Structure 1
């Protein structure tokens, strides 16, 4: 399994922060299933100011695939944007939440979320995600905390594989019909990863916690719960 994919340095945000995000502002302005041509046009509009703007390989990859799953299949691959994997680039931009960049990426993001949403898991299941968390950042995850990961969240059906990454294991309980997650194993470039991919800003609640494992419950992304929750201020160790 690819460590930079399953154990990225991704922050978490509160419900209040989510509803103020540039992501949500542009998300609501874009059709839920944007045309392929609009995705390509928006990628071509992205600037190359920081050296990360060479989208030619990404566009070629998208054009080579069936339109049904083109974006999420590409997300599973090793295609690069500039000097970074596409999945790394996309998550970095989602976390930065820059108004201009997010607006131009949104057709691609919207197309990806649609491809995740229309094939929700038919049965409840449990997935895992290993991550490095120092003692300070573990304070974020108190029982009852409700939060969102800004980027796409890669998880695995395999606990054994997830445990190879990091010192803390997330156990995530998915309910039947959960629209914000999809099993990618049959379309991924790396089926052995047994990946379940969550859409950006998926909503979770901490239900259990010990030194080795944090148990999360996936919630419907439209639920307006935990609106008064604030995260503690922490410092890097």
Structure 2
């Protein structure tokens, strides 16, 4: 799981895939949809998103507006310079100018402030330019925006657009025990067996305890005659003295977790 490390929140593979999915389309991407892609439960996705928000990794969700289509407005990018040491203060002041929708601070270089503004017409954009100059900011250049494109951060997504091996979510407990949530792969040894049959066939260590099974958004309380099916999301408890990895019977025999 993602964890705090020297003041920074270290992302794990599940966190990265969540961020990638939200960058693709935060509005139309639900926790169940992300869960299906990442192969963990919807509850895990919701908990992870809450943690990412709590630690400031996800700062917010912003609507992308086409102002030209909305009311015929124009978008203008001002490339500006503020005196060294006053960039942050200038950025805050610029944010109070009506029509300014984004201010980006850059480290170094002459044009250390990029200001994105929306005006109803060219006269309105000139008014914004005058207000920038009144704040002591020099406008080095400016461009009328034609179109803007946003893309998700590729290293957080699937390799070559393909799905990776289903992931397992771990919670480490005192004494070395673990609670592990994983998705049953199609050709896993346990797929198609009841828990009683799996125990008899030594599919997993007899110390391992199946806590819950999530199937089609329904949580099943496991019993001996409960059959495990492909794509079930299974939560197991594995004590420190377990002889074999708890996930071994739930994944394809020719695959392993990295």
* TM-score of the alignment, normalized to the shorter chain, above 0.5: no
- Please report the TM-score for the alignment, with normalisation by the length of structure 1: 0.25
| Structure with bigger gyration radius | 2
Of the two structures, which has the highest relative contact order with CA contacts closer than 8 Å and spacing of 6 or more?
A: 1
- Please report the TM-score for the alignment, with normalisation by the length of structure 2: 0.23
